A and B are shown apart, each in its own frame.
Chain A
Amino acid sequence: MIAGDLMALMPLLILAVGSIIVLLAGAVRPGGWLYPLAIAIIAAAVVWTIAVPATAVMPGISITPFSRFFSCFLDGTGIVAMLLAAGYNRRRGIIGEEYPATLLFALAGMGTACAATDLLMLFLGLESFTFAFYVLVAIERNSDRGGEAGLKYLLNGTLSAAILGMGIALVYAGSGTLKLAELAMPGAARPFGTLVLAGSCLILFGLAFKLSLVPAHLWTADVYQGATAPVTALLSTASKGASLGVVLLLMPLFSALPAGHHILWWLALLSMLCGNLAALVQTSIKRMLAWSSVAQMGYAAMGLVAAPAGGLRAAAFYVVLYAVAGLATFGAVAVLSDDGERDAIEGYRGMGYVNPLAGAAMAVGLFSLAGIPPAGGFMAKFAVFSATLREGEITLAMVGILTALVAVFFYLRVVVTLYMRPAEGPVTAVRPLLTTEVVALVIPTAVLIFLGIYPSPLLDLLMTLLPGG
């Protein structure tokens, strides 16, 4: 490894070493100061990623413009989640250095997964951030729901990891290599056989779990509801973003398979249908958003189906905007929860006037998820649907548009609750917002509106990053 490689790898090293530093510093002097320290570490990684546009190729990992884009995006969501958690965790009595240290470790794992060039690093990256989430989901140890969500996520997650491992083993057995570049080109000398097909299906299943695509989605609602709101904000955004980055890395393998297209087609269709229909009947806002994230990932998978017609760009664009909207909505949930979680949708009556900033952030986030302009989600849906229609997948696009119409109902129901119904009982003294919370709400809201009005910089960037599709 030469100095240039080290420079390129530095953001990942900053996060990994930073995680250990936070853990050690917390042992010496615990307290709230670890949150600003962790935010500074993530910010340093982002600045380094942007300021030093180095690329490097190492065994198993290579820093490319693609991986640098995903690192910046994921670190950004990490910063917002950390800002939200700083105040929230203090209110809920979650003390200790575990939270910031584990979050940094998760970001390092995500960066590794998106920079992987072979299946080994890909597996390790995916598993390291999933491990971090096992801990984060159950960070509130004494709460019944936190423990239950952690156990559910753990059992489902380890099973999906084992299936992913089996898939990688079969792909290795059939092709004799773990390198993504060699897998992407099934040479005439060694056409892919049944083993690679079976292995790829198992890998796709393992990734479908991480993206919570139907039929591997059943954990989503329970884990989202049981975890604390800032953790859910990160779990529903960064973990989905990183997993989609991994799917994009593996797309050459999946699209070379005879059945790959059909599998993705059904995953997308079922996710859109199940997610949107189940979200209709929820009374808890976190469960509603969880089912909506199943559906949203269905739309992103629809972009993957339309890969030859520019669908990969659309899917990446979609997941970025979904993540930003998720941060805004879950951020508002975190800010509006005081000493207990504000979970019932009914509990949000009149909140748009009681706490205007949080109400506005939630409304803009929900508009974006529903795909109503000028919020960014409209451009994302537009990109995905136009790619799908260019590809000629009329049925899929029709189902997508119809389910998106259904979805408008349950998103707007929350907005109506926020603004058009009076608060229950006399409004008690409103807790003033902390600076960290204001920043954490303003960033995603501003990004959503900006990208809804002027999306071309991001689209152009994705065009250069994913020239193949």
Chain B
Amino acid sequence: MENLNSYLIVSAILFSIGTIGVLTRKNAIVIFLSIELIQNAVNLTFVAFSRHLGNLDGQVFVFFVMTVAAAEAAVGLALMIAFYNNKESIDVDDVNLMKW
């Protein structure tokens, strides 16, 4: 497949956007979204190489990554609601009770 590189470039861009988002944003939900972007980069890499190598293992892995991401979202949003109830904020600057 001659355009494998284009898929990988998109995947690398997604991965970078996600990483920058994790490092720079302050809102916990946006950080969480950025992490999901990284996982989508993982998925795209898997699918592209699965096609390229003619091997279905990668496609199967993607289904499980999506399942894991869904479970993560469920647990994560529940935790954020619990945190919001205590603090009235989901800004990571307010995650400051315990240091060092």
**In the complex, chain B residues whose CB is within 8 Å of the CB of A150:** 79, 82-83
Interface size on B, residues (CB 8 A): 40
Cα distance, A168 to B53, chains bound together (Å): 15
Cα distance, A178 to B58, chains bound together (Å): 8
Q: Which applies to chain A's interface (DSSP): helix, strand, loop or mixed?
A: helix
Interface presence of A154 (CB below 8 A): yes
B56 to chain A, nearest CB (A): 11
Known A-B contacts A124-B64, A158-B76, A173-B49; the reply to A151 vs B95 at CB < 8 A is: yes
Quick one: which of B2-16 are within 8 Å of A by CB?
15
Quick one: which of A396-444 are within 8 Å of B by CB?
none
Cα distance, A150 to B81, chains bound together (Å): 11
Cα distance, A176 to B45, chains bound together (Å): 12
Query: Contact between A147 and B75 (Cβ–Cβ < 8 Å)?
Result: no
**Choice from B35, B71, B99 contacting A162 with Cβ under 8 Å:** B35
**Choice from B46, B75, B97, B99 contacting A135 with Cβ under 8 Å:** B75
**Choice from B15, B32, B64, B72 contacting A131 with Cβ under 8 Å:** B72
Interface presence of A249 (CB below 8 A): no
Q: Which applies to chain B's interface (DSSP): helix, strand, loop or mixed?
A: helix
Interface presence of A138 (CB below 8 A): yes
Known A-B contacts A159-B35, A226-B98; the reply to A151 vs B42 at CB < 8 A is: no
**In the complex, chain A residues whose CB is within 8 Å of the CB of B61:** 119-120, 123, 168-169, 172, 178
Identify the interface centre among A152, A226, A278: most chain B CB within 10 Å of its CB.
A152
Query: Contact between B57 and A177 (Cβ–Cβ < 8 Å)?
Result: yes
Query: Contact between A221 and B100 (Cβ–Cβ < 8 Å)?
Result: yes
- B interface footprint on A219-242 (CB within 8 Å = 1, 0 otherwise): 001100110000000000000000
Identify the interface centre among A131, A154, A163: most chain B CB within 10 Å of its CB.
A154
Interface presence of B20 (CB below 8 A): no
Pull 25 A–B residue pairs with CB atoms less than 8 Å apart, ordered by A.
A123-B68, A134-B75, A134-B76, A145-B98, A147-B85, A147-B86, A148-B98, A150-B82, A151-B80, A151-B95, A154-B76, A154-B79, A155-B32, A158-B32, A162-B18, A163-B38, A165-B39, A165-B65, A166-B41, A166-B45, A169-B58, A177-B57, A221-B98, A222-B99, A226-B97
- Residues of B bordering A, CB below 8 Å: 15, 18, 22, 28, 31-32, 35, 38-39, 41-42, 45-46, 49, 53, 55, 57-58, 60-61, 64-65, 68, 71-72, 75-76, 79-80, 82-83, 85-87, 92, 95, 97-100
